[in-house]
Structure 1
């Protein structure tokens, strides 16, 4: 939605009237009182600045790296390619799938550079699609992205609990193993901890985030070196790069198709690209720093993840012994076998710390997303979730509704572990589609105006491959992981996706299309009030409480 430079904007007034905004205040602010980023947010995107901009280059890059949680997410997902086809599946699926993920990441970075708001890709639809299509497409992208974030954090918290309990089992010499109920209980406790950390002021989060990338990469390097030095019987290079199980553990036939299931591990690790966009209103120069952070973080994850996967394949020993490890974590079992009890516990706990930090930063992004969606009245009870706490400068209500939602999702595991795995598979599908719908709009409607970070003419090829790759891997994500398919081995992701899609369409036609008009304009440049000033309409609920 464009803002007029002088005089009233009729379109903005129409939108404000249509949504029946209850304005607690209407006031003008001199443009020179705002920093460059806040001025751009108000002038170009029509939003009132409410966050403090603490994040710089290092902390934003560290935040972007933390979303993938490379060392920890490989720990929790390495079993997928091993079940799919063995060592070769792990190595080559990472290389192939990582390239597709990089195309998505670059496409997202380019869009974020042009539209750096905490609504992320959801907001960009309002600039990329024809105006008459904006409400329906924004509605779909917003809810799909929210689903991806919720299920992604839920899966990370559950994986965090599994890794922590694996370390406890290792410390007790495997004389004790956690039950599903214990895992769910620890998951809930860790999720509450995540909520408490996110209740701190943004400046604290920025300081914590800044040191994370150093710790993460140090652990990754130390573990790779330790495994290569301490593992006595390593596999040969021929085995690592060419061995494919003739009869895959997944039970899928032909073997070539089973091989493709290894893409699951990579896509689960290399995702969440837009999480950095969701904190863009807390970054000092978001149109430059945010896209570079996304690109560099994903490139680092791609290269280092591939190399670390190769190290694990050299050092993993007998595949069956780690896949059916009594502690339920194949990579933790590799650490124990190669590095002994102390080394195994150390790197397993390090993986726990890293994946828990993934939950901290991802929940920060989720809280900002809920704030942004509420700002545009996409979410029920938006007046509550949009409130900013004056002590911390954070949307506390949005953070804690996220915490309760994540706990509720993980309670599904008490009824069926297979069912909760289906929820986790939804994560990558929802994320990728929430990215590729705006990318497809960019290609189809030619309305994109690039920001400082752009791929130029190469962007068309990269964008197209991102969409095609997402379509391809989405089929893999909904295929059952094992055959023969039984209720215990079923991939319930397709069931959840169908149910959520039907619910979204239903609520859109029942009520959404009657009140939701897409991203809202809160600010106008108003020459009639004061020279070089901007008028802010105080949307209901955007207050310090």
Structure 2
């Protein structure tokens, strides 16, 4: 008996020792991997300051969350309906989605080669001739910052609209939301998102990782319910062929093109995952892979969701557009699913859009921090700070919160200008991507560009060129008024917002920034943003 106990103890000891050794080897392997990634970051010229705590699934979930597919289709479905009815919603998604996919894949390739918080802005350092690099990176940086800020503002404005729409439906439309109500709820929502982003990266990882599964479950449940409960489906001709615009533009084919805006706002901010690259394990592979998979899934599922909405929406487009709730898709839910189903899915859309707002602020805060690291912004030394407790850029988070609330206050006086922010988000972000993509195509080989471990291979040139041409084409459409005759009320003020921000950046450039700004900085690997001042360096 004693001998048996000794043998059992020896076996347990051996098994325990083996487990400990395996764990140590795994930890050593992870440590080597982190050292390799941090070494790559130092090669690019930056000291690692973030903790790499974003897992593989959380990275994908983050990339998928930035589109907010179910909710963003809900908030922008009116654009294609006005532009050409159901066919515009379906075909614009398929056509524009292909162009957006090319931009996303070209962005992912550059993210793999340059996995830093600066995103595509940082690539200008190696993809633009030295003589022009500061000016080009300055424009790319400001466009990216404008696009992300517009994305946060429009997302949280839509959050507020969606919540109030659910209340309106629940009251049998006796309550009609006003702009003042939307502004108040919007401010509360942005502050809530700021509080979530005040947590550490580890907590943000835990929150984000559940998003993708939740989003997919809601989307599938909604599609099943719509198909099961709809009693009178539209014809295939109504869905795919009968283009009936109510925009006032002629010919009908031109009006049809304004439906692209819905897709461009949903499938954008591709480099958001890049801005958290310094917090991702194996960022050079996982970040671009997450972008590619998440956007591919968004493209396919988005096309399916739009087709289902087109078949189940009924044939009275005018009534859907003029709904008292302010949300055409919420009205479709109400018509097909009844009050309870409509309130349920509208609230679920509100929850999903909150995830989008949280991830958008997280990405934009890292952008502000990275741009401040390079002295791109006014008072950069104040924004380039990392909180000692959370090891995240809290100052940048709350700067983002305050700025986006201030931007949305425009809605108190002009709803049309707020709607222009949707357009500005797509235009500014896409141009901040295609400028580096174009520079890679033109100067990459001459300047010694080396692709990262995730790349497009022989398809890189074709996909990159199509991304540039597509962006040039749709930008013209997004800057035009979507309704005719054009009045002060329905004017597309996207061009005004874009002009004002670019004018400010130009004035700031010639007021002295051009003398101290040298583009994305390097050789600051010894600096600690918690205590050191990078702006004392030359």
TM-score (structure 1 length as normaliser): 0.90
1:128-143 maps to which residues of 2 (within 5 A)? Answer: 128-143=127-142
8 Å Cα contact 2:385-2:529 kept in structure 1: no
Q: Distance in 1 between matches of 2:351 and 2:518?
A: 42
**Of the candidates 356, 359, 369, which is equivalent to residue 358 of structure 1?**
356
* 4+ residue runs over 3 A deviation: 31-34, 537-543
- Cα displacement (A) at 1:542: 5.0
Residue of structure 1 equivalent to 2:164: 165
**Of the candidates 405, 415, 418, which is equivalent to residue 417 of structure 1?**
415
Alignment deviations for residues 376-415 of structure 1 (CA, whole Å, 9 cap, x no partner): 1111111211111111111000000000000000000111
1:86-105 maps to which residues of 2 (within 5 A)? Answer: 86-105=85-104
8 Å Cα contact 1:167-1:345 kept in structure 2: yes
Residue of structure 1 equivalent to 2:369: 371
8 Å Cα contact 2:368-2:396 kept in structure 1: yes
**Of the candidates 261, 269, 273, which is equivalent to residue 258 of structure 2?**
261
Q: Distance in 2 between matches of 1:221 and 1:151?
A: 29
TM-score (structure 2 length as normaliser): 0.91
Q: Distance in 1 between matches of 2:89 and 2:189?
A: 30
8 Å Cα contact 1:387-1:542 kept in structure 2: no
8 Å Cα contact 2:68-2:356 kept in structure 1: yes
Corresponding position: 1:315 with 2:312: yes
Pairwise CA RMSD: 1.4
Q: Distance in 2 between matches of 1:541 and 1:333?
A: 53
Residue of structure 2 equivalent to 1:394: 392
Matched residue pairs, number? 499
Q: Distance in 2 between matches of 1:542 and 1:343?
A: 55
Corresponding position: 1:428 with 2:417: no
Residue of structure 1 equivalent to 2:277: 280
8 Å Cα contact 1:383-1:540 kept in structure 2: no
Corresponding position: 1:114 with 2:121: no
1:207-226 maps to which residues of 2 (within 5 A)? Answer: 207-226=206-225
1:173-188 maps to which residues of 2 (within 5 A)? Answer: 173-188=172-187
Residue of structure 2 equivalent to 1:41: 41
Q: Distance in 2 between matches of 1:538 and 1:187?
A: 35
- Cα displacement (A) at 1:423: 2.5
Alignment deviations for residues 25-50 of structure 1 (CA, whole Å, 9 cap, x no partner): xxxxxx979622112111x2110111
Q: Distance in 1 between matches of 2:201 and 2:527?
A: 25
Alignment deviations for residues 268-293 of structure 1 (CA, whole Å, 9 cap, x no partner): 10000000000000000000000000
Q: Distance in 2 between matches of 1:442 and 1:296?
A: 23
1:463-542 maps to which residues of 2 (within 5 A)? Answer: 463-523=464-524, 536-538=526-528, 542=532
- Cα displacement (A) at 1:503: 2.5
8 Å Cα contact 1:388-1:542 kept in structure 2: no
Residue of structure 2 equivalent to 1:244: 243
The runs of 5 or more residues in structure 1 that have no matched partner are 1-30, 525-535
* Residues 263/33 of structure 1: CA separation in 2 closer, same or farther (3 Å cut): closer
* Residues 243/218 of structure 1: CA separation in 2 closer, same or farther (3 Å cut): same
- Cα displacement (A) at 1:181: 0.4
The runs of 5 or more residues in structure 2 that have no matched partner are 1-30, 534-538
Corresponding position: 1:149 with 2:148: yes
- Cα displacement (A) at 1:537: 3.7
Alignment deviations for residues 248-275 of structure 1 (CA, whole Å, 9 cap, x no partner): 2111011110000010100010000000
- Cα displacement (A) at 1:509: 2.1
**Of the candidates 402, 405, 408, which is equivalent to residue 404 of structure 1?**
402
Residue of structure 2 equivalent to 1:528: none
SS of 2:132 mapped into structure 1: helix
SS of 2:500 mapped into structure 1: helix
* Residues 225/539 of structure 1: CA separation in 2 closer, same or farther (3 Å cut): closer
Q: Distance in 1 between matches of 2:221 and 2:90?
A: 20
